């Protein structure tokens, strides 16, 4: 039999593990040797109410299959208590999967502050609080794996989801910086935009599509990314229905205009095609990429830089 990727002796914290994707992650890691903290607040998908049942059911499921698991019922907004549960029960933490989430879908015309604030609190502050509490342990043991959860809504926008989109794209920036800060300590952080049938999606997708999107089919990619053999960090992935792909930032080759009084809106408009031309793209991975590009461009002659100067030496269209 082929060898399995295993997580023996490791402690995995999965937030929002009482249902949907979180349950699929938790039961998988429980079946592969890890001790699992099953966190779930147990409220509705809109973030109302709370209950211990959701987490308890999954803990029992893991234990019944011979695994090790403990429940935690705190909101991710109190991430330190979730990590404390891992330390008290199992003495360490190796993997954090920030998965908990809710929806407050509403058109931007009708959105209220509470719809905005709750979504940002659960997704952004919740992921921050859990990672912040786990960080000292990861640094000390020079080992950690973090998965943050984004969404296609965050990457590409989605009608009626300004709050959720903002929160989910925040996970990308958060992960990219965490990955940079964690690299020295073997703390690898990636962001996954899943697509799966769950109570969150069951009302917006047709039944035959939902059938093809079992939460279990997002799990293997996450399992690879949090395994000790992984080297990938700071990356964005999409996963669902057996398909997975990496996404990255792409920058057009761009336009450089001399920063003097010839640098006008009209000058930009005249060469707008260069601003939007992706035929010779770059793939930046950090803020310094832009500065290096600027330095290189500054060394070029104006003609190489694609400026069109008229007889006065200024860009003709202003
Ligand atoms: P789900 O509603 O089945 O699971 C989310 C879980 O998080 C629930 O069990 C809920 O009780 C828990 N939760 C909510 N607020 C919490 C809080 N403050 N503290 C602790 N637990 C809390 O939904 P699903 O689909 O499994 O979603 C999991 C993650 O994947 C979410 O972050 C969601 O935004 C994201 N996602 C899901 C997609 C999908 O197609 N299902 C698409 C894109 C992103």
ipTM of the predicted assembly exceeds 0.95: yes
Tell me: the pLDDT tens digits for 35-87? 999 999 999 999 999 999 999 999 999 999 999 999 999 999 999 999 999 99
200, 205, 210: which to mutate for ligand 1, most atoms within 8 A of CB?
A: 200
Segment (H or E) for 194 = strand 187-194
Q: What is the pLDDT of residues 24-33, one digit of tens each?
A: 999 999 999 9
Q: Given the CA of residue 213, which atom of ligand 1 is nearest to it? A: 40
Token look-up 């023996």 returns: 8
Tens digit of each residue's pLDDT (9 = 90 or more) over 258-285: 888 999 999 999 999 999 999 999 999 9
- 185 assigned to active site: no
Mind listing the pLDDT tens digit for each residue in 146-173?
999 999 999 999 999 999 999 999 999 9
Tally of CA atoms within 13 A in the half-sphere of 84 that contains its CB: 8
Please determine, for residue 90, whether its predicted confidence score (pLDDT) is greater than 60. yes
pLDDT computed for residue 307 by the predictor: 47
Q: Give the pLDDT mean for 10-24.
A: 98
Among 73, 164, 185, 283, the one annotated catalytic: 164
Residue 82 CA to residue 137 CA, distance in Å, equals 13
Judge whether residue 303 has pLDDT over 70: no
Q: Is the pLDDT higher at 14 or at 263?
A: 14
Q: Are 96 and 130 in contact, with CB atoms under 8 Å apart?
A: yes
pLDDT digits (tens, 9 = 90+) for 213-231: 999 999 999 999 999 999 9
| Binding site membership of 118 for ligand 1 (Cβ less than 6 Å) | no
């Amino acid at each position: 039999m082929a060898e399995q990727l295993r997580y023996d002796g490791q402690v995995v914290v999965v937030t929002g593990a009482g249902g949907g994707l979180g349950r699929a992650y938790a039961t998988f890691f429980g079946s592969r040797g890890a001790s699992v903290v099953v966190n779930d607040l147990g409220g509705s998908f809109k973030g109302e109410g709370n209950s211990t049942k959701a987490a308890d059911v999954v803990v029992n499921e893991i234990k019944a299959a011979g695994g090790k698991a403990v429940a935690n019922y705190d909101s991710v907004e109190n991430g330190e208590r979730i990590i404390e549960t891992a330390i008290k029960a199992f003495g360490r933490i190796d993997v954090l999967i920030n998965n908990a989430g809710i929806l407050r879908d509403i058109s931007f015309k009708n959105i209220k502050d509470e719809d905005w604030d709750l979504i940002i609190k659960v997704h952004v502050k919740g992921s921050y609080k859990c990672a912040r509490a786990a960080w000292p342990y990861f640094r000390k043991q020079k080992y950690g794996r973090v998965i943050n959860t984004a969404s296609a809504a965050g990457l590409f926008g989605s009608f009626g989801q300004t709050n959720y989109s903002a929160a989910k794209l925040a996970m990308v920036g958060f992960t990219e910086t965490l990955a940079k800060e964690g690299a020295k300590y073997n703390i690898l952080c990636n962001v996954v935009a899943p697509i799966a049938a769950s109570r969150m999606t069951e009302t917006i997708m047709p039944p035959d599509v939902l059938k093809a999107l079992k939460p279990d089919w997002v799990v293997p990619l996450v399992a690879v990314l949090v395994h000790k053999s992984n080297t990938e960090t700071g990356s964005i992935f999409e996963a669902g229905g057996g398909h997975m792909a990496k996404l990255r930032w792409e920058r057009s080759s761009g336009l450089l205009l001399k920063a003097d009084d010839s640098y006008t809106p009209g000058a930009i408009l005249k060469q707008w095609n260069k601003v939007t031309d992706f035929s010779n793209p770059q793939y930046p991975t950090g803020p310094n990429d832009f500065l290096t590009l600027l330095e290189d461009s500054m060394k070029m002659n104006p003609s190489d830089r694609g400026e069109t100067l008229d007889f006065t030496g200024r860009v003709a269209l202003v």
